[in-house]
Chains A and B, each alone.
Chain A
Amino acid sequence: MTGFLEHLVSGLASGGIYGLLALAIVLVRRTTGVINFAQGEMATLAAFGCWTLVDHGWAFWPAFGATIALSFAGGAALQVVVLRPVERGPLAGILVLTVGLMLSLNGLMAWIWGGAPKRFDGPFSASLVTVGGAAFSKRDIGVVVASLAVAALVGLLLTRTKLGLGLRAASASPAEARLAGVRVGAMRAAGWGLAAALGAVAGVLAAPSLGLEPNMLQTALLYALAAAVLGGLDSPAGALVGGLLLGVLLDLVGSYVHWVGGELRPATALAVLLAVLLVRPAGPLGVRRA
Chain B
Amino acid sequence: MPLLELRDVEAGYGGIRALDGVSLSVEEGDFVAILGANGAGKSTMLRAICGMVRTRGDVLLDGTKIFHRTPEGMARKGVTHVPEGRGTFTTLTVLDNLRVGSWVQRGTSTRDLARVFELFPSLYERRNVRAAMLSGGEQQMLALGRALMARPRLLLVDEPSLGLAPLVLREIFAVLRRMNESGTAIVVVEQTAQLALAAARHAFVLERGRVVLGGDAAGLRLDEPVRRTYLGY
* A interface, CB within 8 angstroms of B: 162, 165-166, 168-169, 172-173, 175-184, 289
Is B194 engaged at the interface, CB distance under 8 Å to the other chain? no
Whether A176 pairs with B88 at a CB distance below 8 angstroms is: yes
Tell me, rounded to whole Å, the shortest Cβ–Cβ distance linking A163 to chain B.
11
A289 to B130, CA, bound (A): 10
Q: What CA separation (Å) do A103 and B70 show in the bound complex? A: 37
**Interface 0/1 of B66-109, CB less than 8 Å to A:** 00001110011000111100011111100010011101100100
B89 engages A181 (CB within 8 Å): no
Q: Is the CB of A176 within 8 A of B89?
A: yes
Return the chain A residue nearest B51 by Cβ. A178
Give every chain A residue within 8 A of B82 (Cβ-Cβ): 179
| Residue contact A176 to B87, C-beta cutoff 8 Å | yes
Docked-complex contact B75 and A181, CB < 8 angstroms: yes
B50 interface contact, C-beta 8 A: yes
Contact A168-B76, Cβ < 8 Å, known A179-B50, A180-B103, A182-B103: no
Q: Does B116 contact A (CB under 8 A)?
A: no
Interface residues on B, range: 20 to 34
Which 7 pairs of residues, A with B, have the shortest CB-CB distance? Answer: A181-B75, A181-B104, A178-B71, A172-B89, A176-B87, A169-B100, A181-B103
B83-A179 in contact (CB<8A):
yes
Contacting pair A172 B91 (CB below 8 A): yes
A175-B71 Cα distance, complex, nearest whole Å? 8
Indicate which residue in B71, B91, B100, B104 contacts A165 across the interface (CB closer than 8 Å).
B100
| Contact residues in B for A184 (Cβ distance below 8 Å) | 72
Q: Report Cα–Cα, A179/B87, bound state, in Å.
A: 9
Closest to A173 in B: B89
Other than A172-B91, A179-B75, give 8 A-B pairs with Cβ distance below 8 A: A162-B103, A165-B103, A168-B89, A169-B100, A175-B83, A176-B89, A179-B80, A179-B83
